[in-house]
Amino acid sequence: MNKDLEKRLKIIEERNARVEQDKKWETSWVRRISIATLTYAVVASYLFVIGNNQPFVDAIVPPVGFLLSTLVMKQIRKRWQQ
Protein backbone atom coordinates (compact mmCIF):
# COMPACT_ATOMS: atom_id res chain seq x y z
CA MET A 1 0.00 0.00 0.00
CA ASN A 2 2.79 2.41 0.91
CA LYS A 3 4.66 1.79 -2.38
CA ASP A 4 1.45 2.46 -4.31
CA LEU A 5 1.05 5.78 -2.51
CA GLU A 6 4.69 6.70 -3.22
CA LYS A 7 4.24 5.82 -6.89
CA ARG A 8 1.12 7.97 -7.16
CA LEU A 9 2.86 10.86 -5.42
CA LYS A 10 5.82 10.60 -7.81
CA ILE A 11 3.46 10.67 -10.81
CA ILE A 12 1.73 13.78 -9.47
CA GLU A 13 5.05 15.53 -8.81
CA GLU A 14 6.27 14.74 -12.35
CA ARG A 15 3.02 16.07 -13.79
CA ASN A 16 3.28 19.25 -11.72
CA ALA A 17 6.84 19.79 -12.98
CA ARG A 18 5.63 19.46 -16.60
CA VAL A 19 2.77 21.87 -15.96
CA GLU A 20 5.15 24.42 -14.41
CA GLN A 21 7.47 24.15 -17.41
CA ASP A 22 4.51 24.64 -19.78
CA LYS A 23 3.45 27.76 -17.87
CA LYS A 24 6.97 29.18 -18.08
CA TRP A 25 7.02 28.55 -21.84
CA GLU A 26 3.63 30.17 -22.36
CA THR A 27 4.82 33.43 -20.78
CA SER A 28 8.41 33.41 -22.05
CA TRP A 29 9.85 36.10 -24.28
CA VAL A 30 11.49 33.40 -26.40
CA ARG A 31 8.02 32.13 -27.33
CA ARG A 32 6.68 35.63 -27.98
CA ILE A 33 9.61 36.68 -30.16
CA SER A 34 9.46 33.36 -32.05
CA ILE A 35 5.78 33.84 -32.82
CA ALA A 36 6.32 37.46 -33.85
CA THR A 37 9.25 36.53 -36.09
CA LEU A 38 7.39 33.69 -37.78
CA THR A 39 4.33 35.91 -38.22
CA TYR A 40 6.47 38.61 -39.82
CA ALA A 41 8.10 36.11 -42.21
CA VAL A 42 4.78 34.63 -43.31
CA VAL A 43 3.05 37.99 -43.77
CA ALA A 44 6.04 39.54 -45.56
CA SER A 45 6.23 36.55 -47.90
CA TYR A 46 2.53 36.75 -48.66
CA LEU A 47 2.65 40.50 -49.29
CA PHE A 48 5.69 40.06 -51.54
CA VAL A 49 3.97 37.34 -53.57
CA ILE A 50 0.81 39.40 -54.11
CA GLY A 51 2.87 42.40 -55.24
CA ASN A 52 2.52 44.77 -52.29
CA ASN A 53 4.66 47.91 -52.75
CA GLN A 54 6.23 47.69 -49.27
CA PRO A 55 5.86 44.10 -48.09
CA PHE A 56 8.68 44.22 -45.53
CA VAL A 57 7.41 47.44 -43.97
CA ASP A 58 3.72 46.54 -44.00
CA ALA A 59 4.41 43.09 -42.55
CA ILE A 60 5.58 44.61 -39.26
CA VAL A 61 2.02 45.50 -38.18
CA PRO A 62 0.77 42.01 -37.16
CA PRO A 63 3.83 41.05 -35.06
CA VAL A 64 3.87 44.41 -33.28
CA GLY A 65 0.16 44.03 -32.58
CA PHE A 66 0.77 40.57 -31.16
CA LEU A 67 3.59 41.75 -28.89
CA LEU A 68 1.56 44.73 -27.66
CA SER A 69 -1.43 42.50 -26.95
CA THR A 70 0.71 40.18 -24.82
CA LEU A 71 1.80 43.16 -22.72
CA VAL A 72 -1.71 44.56 -22.34
CA MET A 73 -3.26 41.21 -21.47
CA LYS A 74 -1.31 41.06 -18.20
CA GLN A 75 -2.94 44.31 -17.08
CA ILE A 76 -6.39 43.18 -18.21
CA ARG A 77 -6.01 39.91 -16.32
CA LYS A 78 -4.93 41.71 -13.12
CA ARG A 79 -8.01 43.95 -13.27
CA TRP A 80 -10.26 41.00 -14.02
CA GLN A 81 -8.89 39.08 -11.03
CA GLN A 82 -9.71 42.01 -8.74
pLDDT value at 16 more than 90: yes
Arithmetic mean of pLDDT over the chain: 94
pLDDT value for 1: 65
40-48 average pLDDT score: 97
pTM of the model: 0.77
pLDDT value for 3: 85
* Core vs surface per residue 18-39: b (16+ CB within 10 A) or e: eeeeeeeeeeeeeebeeebeeb
pLDDT band at 74 (very low <50, low <70, confident <90, very high): confident
pLDDT value for 17: 94
